[in-house]
């Protein structure tokens, strides 16, 4: 998962507000909303932010490996085996 947590720190360090991003630099409010929830944004938006903030990509975004829920995976495996055994029993 891509996280934009570093962006908010970089904005603070550079003294640029979200209001300025919208009104002075014409970054859309929708793009900022997607950034806030770590949703998908275009590389164009990331490029513009790096340009505006005079920073590197790692100053605004970071990759975080998503943890897989093993219990969920095991439950799905169990359910699949259970359904298969019921189907065999019915035959």
Looking at residue 66, its pLDDT comes to: 80
∠ Cα 69 74 75 (to 5°):
100
Q: Write down the pTM of the prediction.
A: 0.70
Per-residue pLDDT in tens (0 to 9) along the chain, 91 residues: 999 999 999 999 999 999 999 999 999 999 999 999 999 999 999 999 999 999 999 999 999 988 765 555 555 555 555 445 555 555 5
Q: How many CB atoms lie within 10 A of CB 52?
A: 18
Report pLDDT for 83.
47
């Amino acid at each position: 998962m891509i996280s934009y947590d570093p962006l908010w720190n970089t904005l603070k360090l550079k003294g640029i507000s979200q209001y300025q991003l919208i009104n002075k630099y014409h970054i859309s409010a929708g793009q900022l909303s997607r950034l806030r929830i770590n949703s998908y944004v275009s590389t164009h938006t990331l490029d513009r932010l790096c340009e505006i903030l005079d920073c590197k990509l790692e100053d605004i975004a970071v990759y975080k490996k998503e943890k897989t829920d093993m219990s969920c995976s095991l439950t799905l495996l169990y359910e699949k085996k259970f359904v298969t055994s019921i189907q065999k029993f019915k035959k």
